[in-house]
């Protein structure tokens, strides 16, 4: 049987730092970006721009 290589591109979710909901999904290259991603995005539940941090997709 052939073994699969570990992919360098992974799908991540961005969770709001205030309401803790996962609002966005995006992809990330593990080789070039090893630290956790943090972006300022719009949260529709808080109705304002908040900091969104990288989490795992379930």
Q: What does the alpha-carbon distance between residue 26 and residue 10 come to, in Å, rounded to a whole number? A: 9
Domains of the chain: 9-56 (2.20.28.120)
- For the entire predicted model, the pTM comes to 0.80
The confidence score (pLDDT) of residue 7 equals 75
User: pLDDT by residue (tens digit) across 7-58?
Assistant: 789 999 999 999 999 999 999 998 999 999 999 999 999 999 999 999 999 8
The confidence score (pLDDT) of residue 4 equals 67
Instruction: Enumerate residues 6+ apart whose C-beta is below 8 A from 37.
Output: 12, 14, 26, 28, 53, 54
């Amino acid at each position: 049987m052939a073994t699969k290589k570990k992919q360098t591109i992974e799908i991540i979710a961005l969770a709001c730092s205030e309401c803790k909901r996962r609002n966005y999904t995006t992809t990330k290259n593990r080789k070039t970006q090893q630290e956790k991603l943090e972006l300022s995005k719009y949260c529709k539940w808080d109705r304002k721009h908040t900091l969104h941090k990288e989490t795992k997709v379930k």
